[in-house]
Amino acid sequence: MNTFAVLFVCMGNICRSPTAHGVFRHKVHQAGLAEVVRVDSAGTHNYHPGSPPDERSSRHASLRGYDLQDLRARQITELDFEAHDLILTMDWDNLALVQHQCPPQHLRKVKRFTEFCVRHSATEVSDPYYGGAQGFDHVLDLVEDASEGLLLHVQSVLSLDRRH
């Protein structure tokens, strides 16, 4: 059976990328694809190794039915470029840093997560760390939207793989 692996990347891996990780994982489970779609997250910087998501991210996610409690921060590694089919960054800075680190043969895997948005036209998921509650809600709005588009993409890739 073919599998598909997605890695979400932000700066410190405590706000945006674990939110995306938890939301997309939830949608994958709801779609019955947990056995074939692997979800992970990482940061471009090693600011918070082993730390749980920011409590504000966890609290806002929990209010919408997403559980982030098992997630722990880590930095992106060289192995991630090989192991994942898509590496989705949260903003332009993350994109540039990941592209700089990425071996040339894997550059096609690196994209901005917002490229999968269905309803929103945002080009990035802004960092809510230094803002108020509305920033965390906005992150969730964008992440839920992009996760829906991403799920459709992954389902189409998996169904194409099954036909070959």
Active-site amino acid positions? 10, 16, 127
85 vs 154: CA distance, rounded Å: 10
Tell me whether strands 86-89 and 4-10 are parallel, antiparallel or unpaired.
parallel
127 vs 139: CA distance, rounded Å: 8
134 vs 128: CA distance, rounded Å: 8
Is 8 in contact with 142 (CB distance < 8 Å)? no
* Cα distances (Å, whole numbers) of residue 116 to 32, 120, 138, 146: 20, 9, 16, 5
